[in-house]
Amino acid sequence: MPILSQPFRCMACGHEYEEPVDEERERERQCPRCRSNSVRRLKRVVPTQPKPEELPT
Ligand SMILES: [Zn+2]
């Protein structure tokens, strides 16, 4: 199973970055800028994905 790079945002300084998700390191994740551990994973935006109503039937 490949490790995907996921977007994160620091709640302390607002810094956004991407980083491979490693479940073993999930607890010690911290912002690379300010070292805060108030980091949240963002949902990846896929702008090219068609809307359900535009899919052919
Ligand atoms: Zn930060």
In which region does residue 2 sit, left (phi positive, over 0), alpha (psi from -120 to 50) or beta (all else)? beta
Ligand 1 mean position to 29 CA, how many Å?
11
Which pLDDT band, with edges at 50, 70 and 90, does 4 fall under?
A: confident
For 5-57, the pLDDT digits (tens) are 889 999 999 999 998 877 665 667 899 999 999 999 898 666 666 677 776 77
pTM higher than 0.95: no
Question: Can you give the pLDDT at residue 29?
Answer: 86
Question: Can you give the pLDDT at residue 1?
Answer: 67
Where do the domains of the chain lie, and which CATH numbers do they carry? 5-45 (2.20.28)
Ligand 1 mean position to 41 CA, how many Å?
13
Q: Taking ligand 1, which is a single-atom ion, which protein residues have CB atoms under 5 Å away?
A: 10, 12-13, 15, 31, 33-34, 36
Question: Can you give the pLDDT at residue 20?
Answer: 84
Cβ neighbours around 10 below 10 Å, total: 20
Ligand 1 mean position to 9 CA, how many Å?
8
